[in-house]
Amino acid sequence: MGYYTQYHIAIDRKNGQVDYDKINEDLQKISTYSSLNIDEDTDSIKWYDHDDNMIELSRLHPNVLFRVDGVGEEKGDVWRSYYCNGETESAQATLTFPTIDYEKMFKEFATTDRIISNEEFKNAQDEITRSEQAIARAKNLIERYNGQ
């Protein structure tokens, strides 16, 4: 069994000329995967030592910033790692959805009985506001009456 991940390895930044053929050769030698190449997606593979292998590759090719994107077989397992001069930094992807404009999306609002229009909804809100104001005035009158 094992856990499968699809990888994409890229060079994010470089200082000077980069020999892609040499990097691919070293990557394949270090990882023992002959299918690994810079700027190509892999099939889903079990590359458990990718972190150690990429650290080693980044030491062999100093001042090259390698980026590895991974998509695991489990839903939501998406990550990115960077490697440069034997150092590494990784982050798990976070999925967010923007909020939507509900007023724009829905011209009508549903109730338990029927669908009411925006105008009817606004009128109902206004009635509630007027009722709340009337209750506040009545409470004020009662307090003043009780205070005399």
pTM of this prediction exceeds 0.75: no
pLDDT number for residue 120? 81
H helix intervals, the chain: 20-31, 50-60, 102-105, 118-147
Distance CA 57, CA 86 (A): 8
Query: Per-residue confidence of the chain (148 residues) as pLDDT tens digits?
Result: 789 999 999 998 877 788 999 999 999 999 988 888 999 998 899 999 999 999 999 999 999 999 999 999 999 999 999 999 999 999 999 888 888 777 766 655 554 456 667 788 888 888 888 888 888 888 887 777 777 6
Distance CA 42, CA 5 (A): 9
Among the listed residues 83, 60, 69, the one whose alpha carbon sits nearest the alpha carbon of residue 13: 83
Amino acid occupying residue 90: S
